[in-house]
Each structure stands twice: as C-alpha cells, then as structure tokens.
Amino acid sequence: MTERKDDRLWGGRFEREPNAQFDAFQRSFAFDRRLLPYEIAVDRAWAKALEPIGIFAPAEVKQALAALDKIAKRAKTDPGWLESFGATAEDVHHFVEKALVEELGPLGWKLHTGRSRNELVATDFRLFVIDAAAQSQQALESLLDAFLVQAKANRNLPMAGMTHMQHAQPILLSHFLLAHAEAFARDITRLQHASASADACPMGSGALAGNSFAIDRSTVARELGFSRITANSLDAVSDRDFALDYLFALSGIATHLSRLAEDFVLFSSQEFSYVILPDEYSTGSSLMPQKKNPDAWELIRGKTGRITGALLGLLTTLKGLPTSYQRDLQEDKEALFAAHDQVADMVAVAAGAIASTKFNASRLAAAAANPALLATEAADYLVHKRIPFRQAHDIIGKVLREAEKQNVAWTALPLKTLKKISPAFEADFADGLSVDAALASKKVRGGTAPESVRGAIADLEERLNKKAKKTGAKP
C-alpha cells in the first residue's frame, strides 16, 4: 500500500495513491489547460467576492490578485514552467491552486472557499464558448467579404443554374455566390444563439446545491462579463446545452463549407471548367505532372465529418446522464476544442481560396446559352397569352419533342411548325428567347435579375459594414 502524499483537491478521504494508469486516465490538464485564462478570471472575481463576506481581508484580496496576475503572466511567457509545473496537475483548477499555494502559502487554499470544481469548469467553459463564438463569427465575416468581392467582380456573368445536377435555368454567377453567402450569414445567427446560451454565470451554484456563504452571484457575473446568473444550481453544474449549441453552429458552418467545396471540386473538373484553381490553394500529383488538384476544397469537405462527429459525440455522452454533475462531462471539451480549431482553419482556407479563384467566363456563358435552359421562359410566354401554365408546360414539352425528332435546336423551329402545336405562338415568341431576357425577367427581390442581384450585393455589403462598425473591425 502507498500512502497519499500529494496535494490533490480531494485528499483527506483517501489513504492510498490512485492506480497509476487510472491516475493518468482521469487527468485533464493536458487539454483543459486551454481554459487557464478563464480560470484565472473566475478566480479573480471570486477573490473579490470573498471580501464582503469576511473570508478575505482587503490585504489578502490584493495578495491573491497579484499572485493570479503573476501566474497568468508566467503561463504566457514561460512554456517550460507550464509544462513542468502542469505535469503534476490533475486539471486546470488544481494547477492554479498549486501555483497560488506556491506563491501565497496557506492563503492560496482559502480561495476555494464555498465553491466546487463543478461550477468552476462550467463557468470557464461558458466563457470559452462565448469567446470562441465571437472568433468564429469574425472568421465568417471575412469569408462573406470574399464572396462579396467576387460577386461584385462577376456581377453580370451568366451561368447555368442547376437542379438535380442537371442544367435548369440561366442565373448570374453573382447570384450563385450570394446563395452561399446567405447560408454562412445564417451560421452567424446560430453562433450568436450559442453565445447567448452560454451567457449565464454558474458561480455560486457550488457542487450542486448552491453557496453557503451569501456570495453575491450577480456581482461575480458582472465581473466576468455575464449578463445574468444561472437560475438553478443543480441544472447549472450539469447543463451543457451551450456546448451543444456551439457544436451545432460549427456543424452548420462545416456542412455549408462542404457543400461549397463540392461545388468547387466539380466546377474545377475538365467536364465543367468553370473555375481556374489558384496555385496557392491547390496541389499536384507525385506521378502525373499535368495535375492541379483541388485539395483545399477536398480537405474542407473531408474534415466536415470531424465536426459533425464532435456534435454527435457530445449528444451521446449527455444521453442518459443522471441529473447533476457527472465525471462523464469531462468529455465535453476535447472534441469541442478540436472542432473549433478545425472550423477556424476550414473557414480561413475557404476564404483564401474563394478570394484567389478565377472564373472561366467564356465557359460559364456558353453553358448558360444552352437553349434548353430557356424552356421555362417559353412556357411563361404562353401563360402571358392566357394559357394555363399546366397546358403551357405540356405544349413546350411537345415543342421540345418535335425539335428532337428533327434533330435541331428547339429555338430554331419555324413559327409555322410552332403554330401546328399551338396557335398561341406569335412572331414575337423569339424575342424573349435569350439569356439576357430570361435573367431580366427574374426581377423579384431575391431573384437572379441583374437589378435584384445589385440590391442583394448592396444588402450584404451593408450588413457587413454594420457588423464591422459594431465590432470596430475593418469592413
């Protein structure tokens, strides 16, 4: 039997050391050290809160705050100390208490009065998610700016819009780019929801039942930048909905990035040749000298599985847990940290690749000029002649079938032939059968008409400028 000799936060009850393999298994400092800045911020707020209730004298508060500042500075500037001192730390809470005791002696132990690691980690983690969501939002705004620049540069370039991966109707390339931008704008809304979900301070909840020392929870919350306190101590230590919300937002971003990646992988193929891959975001083949591969987009598409996996993993961890804190919740952070980092890289690479991509204007315009894409315009022409749309649809289908029989473009059929199919056809029919006319007709808000797209570009630019003014960032 080995007697306990260490300084763990839970020592008195135990006579013997933990099994070495289990001890390594249950330690979390290797990853929760990322919460160190938040842990120190919470410790500072708690030290101040202990003074009004008589636990800390004013001089002791000053000592504690000075020691915490010293620890924070050393952790930033002395990675060797962080590694060596952290080697014996069970978790980030243990690390800071060890460091405080080294600086202050027994006074360092007083800081833990009335609180639990259960509430500490919940508070640290919430603060991390709030900051992480803000970072992700800023990254998405840079991506949106890249879409905006490309949409402006290719404002009037037509392309073949598709459904079911089949050419459908002419649209503007700028309209296509703005479609992706709208998806990422919705992701920003989800990030904001995740931040709001995390914006409640658990401190004062104790291990599960609350605090016995009349701590002013609202003051602690304000000190840490929270807008409110959690409503129920039992829920506060076990709630990880905010983490799920953030992972859901990240999964949405990754899914939209994957769809964007799929489009650009296809568009860069020789079969499409819609885009010219930038050298800076492509790789070659070790065997085939001619190859330029869309690896940036393929890796973005591939990494999406990690992000959705992190969300599913946390959902699975939370499923079936009893109410209150359980040690299973230690598994909430590693995957979220990794997902945050991966999405940050994915968004940055996507923004760079979008900004650097050149579009093959002649190829895009040629695809848009396929007469088959104007079939809907032909049906609309008949509707304007007072023919019900379902009948108009059928009539144009017969026109297409006749053109196939004659092995000619349906737009080349003479008026005499068209009139045999329907007397509603007039000499003005051919006037509307052009890409420009088809585009111009879609002038509803949100449509692909040039004037509608100009409005959409202006709207996106205004939204980005508002966000930039709010955050102080460059538009």
At 432-472, the pLDDT tens digits run: 899 999 999 999 999 999 999 999 999 999 999 987 777 66
Collapsing DSSP to helix, strand or coil, 66 comes out as helix
| Rounded mean pLDDT, 238-247 | 98
**What is the reported pLDDT for 432?**
80
Where do the structural domains in the chain lie, given as residue ranges? 20-113, 118-213+226-367, 370-441
Which CATH code for domain 118-213+226-367? 1.20.200.10
Can you spell out the DSSP letters for 217-228?
HHHHHHHHT-SS
Mean pLDDT score across all residues of the chain: 94
Which CATH code for domain 370-441? 1.10.40.30
Tell me whether residue 164 is one of the annotated catalytic residues: yes
| Rounded mean pLDDT, 51-80 | 97
From 13-17, 51-55, 199-203, 397-401, the region with the lowest mean pLDDT: 13-17
Instruction: Report the predicted TM-score, pTM, of the whole model to 2 decimal places.
Output: 0.93
At 387-443, the pLDDT tens digits run: 999 999 999 999 999 999 999 999 999 999 999 999 999 999 988 899 999 999 999
pLDDT band at residue 34 under the 50/70/90 scheme: very high
Catalytic residue from among 218, 269, 285, 362? 285
H or E element, residue 300: helix 295-318
d(CA 371, CA 160): 11
**What is the reported pLDDT for 23?**
82
Tell me whether residue 285 is one of the annotated catalytic residues: yes
At 294-312, the pLDDT tens digits run: 999 999 999 999 999 999 9
What percent of the chain has a predicted confidence (pLDDT) above 70? 96
| Rounded mean pLDDT, 208-217 | 96
pLDDT surpasses 80 at 363: yes
| Rounded mean pLDDT, 101-107 | 94
Burial class (CB in 10 A: 0-12, 13-18, 19+), 439: buried
d(CA 171, CA 199): 42
| Rounded mean pLDDT, 152-167 | 97
Torsion 385-388-394-397 (CA) sign: positive
pLDDT band at residue 353 under the 50/70/90 scheme: very high
**What is the reported pLDDT for 161?**
98
| Rounded mean pLDDT, 26-42 | 93
CATH topology of domain 20-113: Fumarase C; Chain B, domain 1 (1.10.275)
**What is the reported pLDDT for 33?**
96
pLDDT surpasses 80 at 9: no
CB count in 10 Å sphere of residue 360: 17
CA nearest to 110, candidates 50, 35, 41, 36: 50
**What is the reported pLDDT for 21?**
86
| Rounded mean pLDDT, 56-83 | 96
H or E element, residue 359: strand 358-359
